[in-house]
Structure 1
Amino acid sequence: MMMILEAKNPHFLLQSTKPPNDKTHSNKHKRKSIPSVTVCQCLLRNSDAGKLVHEFDPKVPVEKAVTPPSSWYTDPSFFQEELERVFYRGWQAVGCIEHIKDPGDFFTGRLGDVEFLICRDEKGNIRAFHNVCRHHASLLVSSGTAHKASCFVCPYHAWTYGLDGQLLKATRITGIQNFNVKDFGLVPIKVATWGPFVLLNLDKEISWHEADINTVASEWLGSCSEILSTNGVDSSLSYVCRREYTIECNWKVFCDNYLDGGYHVPYAHKGLASGLQLQSYSTKMYEKVSIQSCEGGSMDRKDDYDRLGSKALYAFIYPNFMINRYGPWMDTNLVLPLGPRKCQVVFDYFLEASLKRKHFGDKSAQCELHA
C-alpha cells in the first residue's frame, strides 16, 4: 500500500514516522487522505494549558512578581501549547551558515515535533524542507551536521529528491494513473540568514528562497539588529566547534538562569567573576531581545587569546537563543525543547579569523582549549 502525502497543508508533517517492521505490503497502490490537525489543536486549547496561561497577569509590576507555578515547567499540555504558540511561530535560530558553505552541504535538526533539513543547492541558494519523505512519511535523512550530498534518497523505498526539493525518482510507480512527480516534492519551510546564523519560520508564508535580510532582522531582532552588529556579532568571525548537552530540565529553566542579570555569577562562576567588573553589570530590555553587558577586569589585553577582553555582552533573543560576545570570542547557546522535563543545549564557538589561523591553523579547534 502506498500513502502519498499531499503538499497543500505542510503542517500535517509536524511529526515524522519510522518505517513499520512489517514488510508485507499489498502491491496495490492506494492514496490515503491525511487527517486534519484541527481537532488536535482544539483539544489543546480546551485542556488545562489554557487555564495555566491565564494565571499569568502581565500587568503586575516586577516588584510584585512571584515565581511562576511549577506546572509551567512540568505540565505536558502546557509544553505542547508552547510549541504551537512560541516555537512554531516567527523566526527561530537553528544553525550556522558554516555548515552549509558550499553547494551540496546540508544539516538536519528538530524543533519540537518538526524534523527539518537545510541545504545549499547547486545554484548556491539555501533551502529548507520538512525532513520527511512524501511517500510513507519516513525520516528522509539521518540527523547530524556538516554533511554533503548531491541528492537525498529515502532509506525506505528509495524515493529520490534533488537539492531543490523536487522529486527526481519514485521507484515502482510505473502505471500509476494521475501521478506527477512535480506534485510530490519535499514540503518547503521558509528559511533566512542573519549574520552567521540560519533561521527557520514554520508559520509564515512558504518561500523557496531566502527572505529579505532587512525584514528578517526586524522580525527576529526588532530594533537590536544594528546594536548587535556594532558590538561584533557578525559574519566576520570564524567558526571553531560545537558542543551539545542533554539536560533533564524544562527548556525555560536554562533560559531563566541566563536572564537573572548576573545574579548567580559571583557565586556559581567565581573564575568568570574575577575577570569582570560586576559593579558595571547592566541589563537593557528591547522588544524581543535582552542585552546584558559588563566591563572586563582589564582594559589592556596582553594575551590576544584572552577569553574576556575589555567587555562582555550577553544577548538573549526570544525565545531560546543566546549570543555571548567577549574579547575575540563569541559563543551561542541554543536551547531546544525535548519535552516538559528535558531539553538539549547546543553551544557553537566562534573566534576572530586571524586568531583561529594563528592558534588552530586550518583544523577545527578542540573546545576543551576554550572551555
Structure 2
Amino acid sequence: MSQTVTAQQIPPAPVDAKQLADALRPFGESRMLPRGSYFDPEVLAWERRHLFSGWVGLGRSDELTRPRMMKAYPAGDGGVLVVRQDDGSLKGFENACRHRGHELLPCDGSTEGRAIVCPYHAWAYRLDGSLLGAPGFKDVEHFDTTEFPLHEVELREWQGWLFGNMGTTQPFEEHISGLEPIFEHYDGADLVTAELHEYDVEANWKVVVENYQECYHCPSIHPELCQVSPPASGDNLNPQADWIGGTMELRDHAATMSLDGHSGGAMIGRLDEVEQRTVMYLGLLPNLLISLHPDYVMTHLLIPTTPERTRIRCSWAFPRAVTEAEGFDPAYAVDFWDITNRQDWAACESVQRGMANPAFLPGPLAPAEDGLYDFVHYVARKYAGEG
C-alpha cells in the first residue's frame, strides 16, 4: 500500500478513557471494552485505519484456482483486487483505477480475463498491474503509461488462506508467530472449500469475536454442541503475536462436531492422538476465526460493514481426496454449524440491542472468560495506542 502504519504512529481511539482504563485492568478486575466502541462510527473508522491496517484475512486461496482469475475483496478502508498470474502466482492491487478511482471489480466480484479492465472508462491493465492502454490518450502529449500502474498490495498464501498487507511494516512471519506448530499436521494448503455461507449479523464485529472466545454461554444456547463436546473442556493457549485461541474436547461417542457426532468425511491424515480428539479455536486477528476439527476446517471471515452490522463468510474445507470421493456430502458438518452459528448470531444481536440501553455500562468477566479477556485486552491496548 502507499501508506504504512507502525505501532508508534497509532493514535489513541476515540473511546471513553475511564472505561478503557477498566478494560486494561488485570484479569479478574477488568471490564469489557468501552460501550461506545460498539456503536460509534468514529471508532469503526479508527479500527479500519489502525486494526484492519496490517495483515488482514481475505479468503480461501482456492477461490482463484486458474491463471487469469481475479477477485475483489473488501479490506481496511478500501479493497484488494487479487489476480492469479499466468505462472500460478498471485498478485494483489488496490481495487481502484488510476484514472478516476472506479473499482476495477465490485466488492466480492470475480471474473477471468487476459487483462484487468476498468468498467468505467475502459482503462486496461496487464495482469501484473502495468497500464496497457487508456482510450483517447494515444496522442496526448506527456502521457506516459509507465506512470500509472496499479498500486500493489503485498499478499501471502498460508495454510490455504489468503492475506493482504493493508499498510504495515510487520513481517507476515511475525504476525503468525507460534502458529506453525499448531497447523503443522492439518495440511491446510491441501484442503478444498466445499461450501460457503454468508450471514449478515446485526452486531458489532467485536461482539462476534467475543462470543467466539468463550463457551461460558454454551450450556444456555448450544444444546447440539454440548451433546458432542463438554462446554467446560479444553484450555486456552497463552496469547502470542496477533492470535488467540484454545481447545475443546470431543465426547467419547463423537468423532467430530456434527449433529450426532459421526463424520461424513475422513480424518485429516497426519493428526496426532490429541488432535484427533480435539477441536482448536483460533482467532487470527483482526478478522479470521479458524476452527480446526479432526476431519474439516471451518473459517469465519468477518467484514465490518457498519458499527452495528457484520458480514460473516463461513467456509468449510476438507481434504482434497475426501471432496473428490463419490457421494461425499459436507452437510454433516455444514448443518451442525449452520444451526450453531444462527444460535450465536441471535445471541450477538441481542447483546448489541441490550448494550444500546442508555444506562448500560461494561460488565465484568467471569472466571471462565479468560479467552475473552485475551481479545478484550488486545483491542484495549490497541485503543490506548500501545501497538
TM bracket (short chain): 0.7 to 0.9
User: Aligned-pair distance for 1:59?
Assistant: 5.2
Greater percentage in strand: 1
Distance 1:128 1:177 in 2: 30
1:305 aligns with 2:253: no
CA distance in 2, matches of 1:56, 1:233: 40
Question: For 2:198, what is the secondary structure of its paired residue?
Answer: strand
Identify the residue that residue 61 of structure 1 maps to in structure 2: 26
Q: CA distance change for structure 1 residues 359 and 254 in 2, over 3 Å: closer, same or farther?
A: farther
Indicate yes or no: 2:77 matched with 1:77.
no
Matched residue count: 318
String of CA shifts for 1:142-165, please: whole Å, max 9, x gaps. Answer: 233553221121111111111111
What is the TM-score when the length of structure 2 is the normalising length? Answer: 0.74
Q: TM-score by structure 1 length? A: 0.77
CA displacement, residues 56-95 of structure 1 (integer Å, 9 cap, x when unaligned): 236511111123231011112111111111101x211111
In the alignment, residue 121 of structure 2 is paired with which amino acid?
H
For residues 300-322 of structure 1, give each alpha carbon's deviation from its aligned partner in whole angstroms, at most 9, with x where no partner exists: 74944179973211111122211
Partners of 1:112 and 1:338 within 8 A in 2 = no
Aligned residue runs from structure 1 range 173-192, under 5 A: 173-192=137-156
Q: Residue 303 and residue 367 in structure 1: after superposition, are their counterparts in 2 closer, same or farther (change >3 A)?
A: closer
Matched, 1:153 2:101: no
In terms of Rg, which structure is larger? Answer: 1
Take 1:359 and 1:219, find their aligned partners in 2: how far apart are those partners? 41
Whether the 8 Å CA contact 1:117–1:130 is kept in 2: the answer is: yes
Structure 2, gaps ≥5 residues long: 256-260, 268-275, 339-387
Which secondary structure does the structure 2 equivalent of 1:316 belong to?
strand
Contact 1:91 1:219 in 2 (8 A): no
Q: % of aligned pairs identical?
A: 22
Question: Which SS does the other structure have where 2:189 is aligned?
Answer: coil
Which 10-residue stretch deviates more, 179-188 or 50-59?
50-59
Q: What SS does the corresponding residue of 2:99 show, helix, strand or coil?
A: coil
In structure 2, how many angstroms separate the alpha carbons of the residues matched to 1:271 and 1:69? 33
Could you tell me how far apart the structure 2 residues matched to 1:82 and 1:315 are?
21
In the other structure, the counterpart of 1:281 is 234
Q: Deviations over 1:246-295 (max 9, x none)?
A: 112111010110112x1111221111111013342311132222222121
Distance 1:65 1:345 in 2: 29
State how far apart, in whole Å, the 1-side matches of 2:201 and 2:296 are.
25
Q: Is 2:225 the counterpart of 1:272? A: yes
Pair 1:226-2:145 in alignment? no
Distance 2:299 2:246 in 1: 14
Deviations 1:78-128 (A, max 9, x none): 11111111101x211111110122211121111242121001112222100
| Separation in structure 2 between the aligned mates of residue 366 and residue 133 of structure 1, nearest angstrom | 43
Given that 2:3 and 2:167 are in contact with CA atoms closer than 8 Å, whether structure 1 keeps it comes out as no
How far the C-alpha of 1:55 sits from its partner, in A, is 4.3
Structure 1: runs of 5 or more not aligned: 1-8, 13-41, 206-210
Partner of residue 38, structure 1: none
Give yes or no for contact 1:289–1:315 (8 Å, CA) kept in 2. Answer: yes
Distance 1:300 1:82, change over 3 A: closer
Give the one of 298, 313, 317 matched to 2:284: 317
Residue pair 1:118, 1:129 contacting (<8 A) in 2 also: yes
Secondary structure of 1:277's counterpart equals coil
- Name the residue aligned to 1:16: none
What is the CA–CA distance in structure 2 between the aligned matches of 1:337 and 1:346, rounded to whole Å?
11
Aligned to 1:163: 127
The alignment partner of 1:351 has SS state of strand
Confirm or deny: 8 A CA contact 1:243 1:367 kept in the other structure: no
Mapped contact 2:264–2:330 kept (Cα < 8 A): no
Q: Quote the residue 1:295 is aligned against.
A: 249
Alignment of 1:208-219 (within 5 A): 215-216=171-172, 218-219=173-174
CA contact 2:20–2:34 (8 Å) conserved in 1? no
Q: Which region of structure 1 is more displaced relative to structure 2, 350-359 or 322-331?
A: 350-359
**Cα distance change of structure 1 residues 341 and 112 upon mapping to structure 2, 3 Å threshold:** farther
**DSSP 3-state at the match of 1:252:** helix
> Within 1, Cα distance between the matches of 2:311 and 2:320?
28
Secondary structure at 1:135's aligned position in 2? coil
Question: CA RMSD, aligned part only?
Answer: 3.0
Correspondence for 1:246 among 196, 200, 204: 200
Is 1:122 aligned to residue 81 of structure 2? no
The alpha-carbon distance between structure 1 residues 112 and 54, as it changes in their structure 2 partners (threshold 3 A), is: farther
Give 3-state SS (helix, strand or coil) of 2:236's partner. strand
Q: In the alignment, is the contact (CA less than 8 A) between 1:299 and 1:310 conserved in 2? A: no
Indicate conservation of the 8 Å contact 2:49/2:77, yes or no.
no
* Structure 1 Cα separation of the partners of residues 310 and 195 of structure 2: 20
AA at the equivalent of 1:83: R
Distance 1:317 1:353 in 2: 24
8 A contact 1:238–1:350 mirrored in 2? yes
Residue 347 and residue 332 in structure 1: after superposition, are their counterparts in 2 closer, same or farther (change >3 A)?
same
Give how far 1:369 is off.
5.3
| Alpha-carbon distance in 1 for matches of 2:117, 2:75 | 22
Displacement of 1:182: 1.3
Change (3 A) 1:200 1:276: same
Instruction: Indicate conservation of the 8 Å contact 2:24/2:30, yes or no.
Output: no
Code of the aligned partner of 2:66:
D
* Shift in CA distance, 367/292, structure 1 to aligned 2, threshold 3 Å: closer
Q: Distance in 1 between matches of 2:226 and 2:145?
A: 60
Q: Does the Cα contact within 8 Å between 1:112 and 1:337 map onto a contact in 2?
A: no
Aligned-partner residue type, residue 50 of structure 2:
R
Whole-angstrom CA distance in 1 between matches of 2:18 and 2:177: 26
